[in-house]
Structure 1
Amino acid sequence: MNKTDRMLAIVMELQRKGVLRAEDLAARFETSVRTIYRDMQALSEAGVPVAGATGVGYSLMEGYFLPPISFTAEEAVTLLIGADFVERRLDEEYGARARSSQEKIEAILPENVREETARVRSAIRLLKEREAGTRGQEKETFKQLRQAILKKSKVRFHYSKSLSAPDGMRHGERTADPYGLVFSQGAWVLVAFCQLRGDIRHFRLSRMKELLVLKESFEVLPGFRLQDHRPSDDREVVVRMWVDSSIVDLVQEVNSFYMESLEWGMEGWLATFRVRRIEELLQWTLGWGAAVQVLEPESLRDRMRDEILKMQKRY
């Protein structure tokens, strides 16, 4: 980053965050504190009202704003594609705002940049998904949860798990404190404090039904930050299997959430998985037919034999 770009970026950073120390700016822009001092002096000489206080940091005088900033074609494309994603994946309210944002961005672009942006954008496309059944309901669920999170309101819903849990509860009503929404593995997930479990849990929106936003409010657990949250990994069952070379490319493309590694071995490709229960891999393994061979655990091998016998009786 050259000096001019860095000075502009410094002003934008101060405008966004208010007060920053020279050390913070030096770390942000990967330069020395002495260089930041020189940049501040240059900004002051250029008429930018920068105020500095010893032991506190630098800030912009109240009321100062940067004039409108122009975008490069790549920057504009990034923003427009981001708006496309919001329109496809979030609720109707945010979808309308995304379209409005796109129009405003396109309106302020110089003609040459607008033409270049249109050319680049035409080479990248997000396909519109079918708005039927579950997807439409999931968007409505997203909207309700988003509002509950902003208002800090508890929610109640019926939840269905994909497999029977160890406690036998596959379906049940939950009351939870919604902390945030996370898009992971192609699906929206609610991070919330579950009253039933007394701990933070994750709920896929596609499995939530009859959602109600309650009048009762909640407080986030002290020290919790969604940006820092990492779910605990309780996948303790290790599964290993040989994968035939004829399908290894397809297996890699599928990119199973449970797969830990896929390595070449003496008899072919060795795939290692970690799951909570063997049932989580049963259908996936059966789907590849004889092209995979389960090595361990023996419990999964037994389940595979049982399923194959059932299939033989049907066919």
Structure 2
Amino acid sequence: MNRIDRLSAILIQLQGKKIVKAAEIADRFNISLRTVYRDVKALQEAGVPVGAEAGTGYYLVEGYHLPPVMFSREEAAALLTGEKLMTHLGDHSNRKQFSSAMQKIKAVLRGTEKDFLESLEDNIAIVSRRPPVTEEFPNRFMSDIQHSLGQQLVLQLDYFAYHNETLSQREVEPIGIVFMSGTWHLIAWCRLRKGYRDFRMDRIKGLTLTSTTYDKTKRISLKEYMDKYGETDTPRLLIKIKASQATARRIGESKFFYGFTEEQAIGECMEMTFLFPCLFAFGRWLLTWGNNVEIITPAELTTQMKLLVLELKEYYL
């Protein structure tokens, strides 16, 4: 990237945040802090009102705005891909907001870029096998959760715990959201359990955005949580099963909902490894594959399967 393009990009970056640290600019463009200082000085000399706070970062003086941004063809294509992903991976609230934003973005595109997007529209597809959304778990709380994170507002949840199939009410202080294992998760400090918890957002039955604030500086960051706990703060059990290659193909994407980590071919079979916190829930899923799978470890899972089979036998006989 030449310097003119970099200066324009820095200006856009400054307009995108209230305060931008010099280190953020350096990391983005892979340049030294000394070069950042020279670039910012060049913008100031060109008449751009860039202010600085010692030890904090740079900012644009209130009231200064760039003219409407023009997107390149590649940027427009990336945005279209994002829209397609949002249709499948976002929740109801975010899909509506993203669609509205995309209409505004398309409005400022040049005619050639609009034609280019229209030619791509039917040639980008996202195939997803996520479970359908039910009225019981409406999956429409993303916008409220994002508002809570931005304003540091406590949330009240009606949450269905999958491992024991109970509904409970929680007051939580959100620290972040993350997409993993095929679904969105809310990471928050739970006031009831007095600890950090991982709430699957497709298990939230109801949500209320309260007017009570919390101090996020008293909680760890999302990055610190992920570094410390990984995907969940609930201990996960190592599970290994063996299945024919045909069965492994039929299992498909459903394995990702049960902590799938890896698989390897062993002769005519596939050995699949999982990390999952609840043997009961994993066993119920395993029942759907009948005698087409074999449990390698742990032995407790085999015991759990025997109990589940006996329960079914008693029910039907």
Q: TM-score, normalised by structure 2?
A: 0.75
Tell me: CA distance 1:298–1:78, structure 2 relative to 1, closer, same or farther (3 Å): same
Tell me: CA distance 1:249–1:312, structure 2 relative to 1, closer, same or farther (3 Å): same
Instruction: Specify the alignment match of 2:9 in structure 1.
Output: 9
Query: Does residue 1:134 correspond to 2:141, yes or no?
Result: no
Tell me: CA distance 1:31–1:152, structure 2 relative to 1, closer, same or farther (3 Å): closer
Query: Does residue 1:204 correspond to 2:200, yes or no?
Result: yes
Query: Does residue 1:162 correspond to 2:162, yes or no?
Result: yes
Instruction: Specify the alignment match of 1:220 in structure 2.
Output: 216
Query: Does residue 1:124 correspond to 2:120, yes or no?
Result: no
Residue 115 of structure 1 and its aligned partner are, at CA, apart by 0.2
Residue 71 of structure 1 and its aligned partner are, at CA, apart by 1.0
User: Could you say what secondary structure the match of 2:31 adopts?
Assistant: coil
Instruction: Specify the alignment match of 2:72 in structure 1.
Output: 72
Tell me: CA distance 1:106–1:37, structure 2 relative to 1, closer, same or farther (3 Å): same
Is the 1:134–1:206 contact (alpha carbons within 8 Å) kept by the matching residues of 2?
A: no
Instruction: Specify the alignment match of 2:296 in structure 1.
Output: 295
Residue identity opposite 2:79 in structure 1 = L
Residue 34 of structure 1 and its aligned partner are, at CA, apart by 6.4
Is the 2:243–2:271 contact (alpha carbons within 8 Å) kept by the matching residues of 1?
A: yes
Aligned length: 306
Instruction: Specify the alignment match of 1:280 in structure 2.
Output: 281
Is the 1:40–1:50 contact (alpha carbons within 8 Å) kept by the matching residues of 2?
A: no
Q: What 5-or-longer segments of structure 2 have no aligned partner?
A: none
Q: What 5-or-longer segments of structure 1 have no aligned partner?
A: none
Tell me: CA distance 1:160–1:61, structure 2 relative to 1, closer, same or farther (3 Å): closer
Residue 302 of structure 1 and its aligned partner are, at CA, apart by 2.4
Instruction: Specify the alignment match of 1:110 in structure 2.
Output: 110
Q: TM-score, normalised by structure 1?
A: 0.75
Instruction: Specify the alignment match of 2:260 in structure 1.
Output: 259
Is the 2:172–2:191 contact (alpha carbons within 8 Å) kept by the matching residues of 1?
A: yes
Residue 114 of structure 1 and its aligned partner are, at CA, apart by 0.6
Larger CA deviation: 79-88 vs 2-11: 79-88
Query: Aligned partners of 1:55, 1:240: CA distance in 2, in Å?
Result: 55
Residue 134 of structure 1 and its aligned partner are, at CA, apart by 3.3
Query: Aligned partners of 1:204, 1:132: CA distance in 2, in Å?
Result: 15
Query: Aligned partners of 2:285, 2:194: CA distance in 1, in Å?
Result: 32
Instruction: Specify the alignment match of 1:101 in structure 2.
Output: 101
User: Could you say what secondary structure the match of 1:69 adopts?
Assistant: coil
Query: Aligned partners of 1:210, 1:120: CA distance in 2, in Å?
Result: 38
User: Could you say what secondary structure the match of 2:234 adopts?
Assistant: coil
Query: Aligned partners of 1:55, 1:193: CA distance in 2, in Å?
Result: 33
Tell me: CA distance 1:171–1:265, structure 2 relative to 1, closer, same or farther (3 Å): same
User: Could you say what secondary structure the match of 1:11 adopts?
Assistant: helix
Residue 293 of structure 1 and its aligned partner are, at CA, apart by 0.7
Instruction: Specify the alignment match of 2:181 in structure 1.
Output: 185
Query: Aligned partners of 1:225, 1:95: CA distance in 2, in Å?
Result: 26
The CA RMSD over aligned residues, in Å, is: 3.9
Residue 243 of structure 1 and its aligned partner are, at CA, apart by 1.9
Residue identity opposite 1:290 in structure 2 = N
Identity within the alignment, % = 26
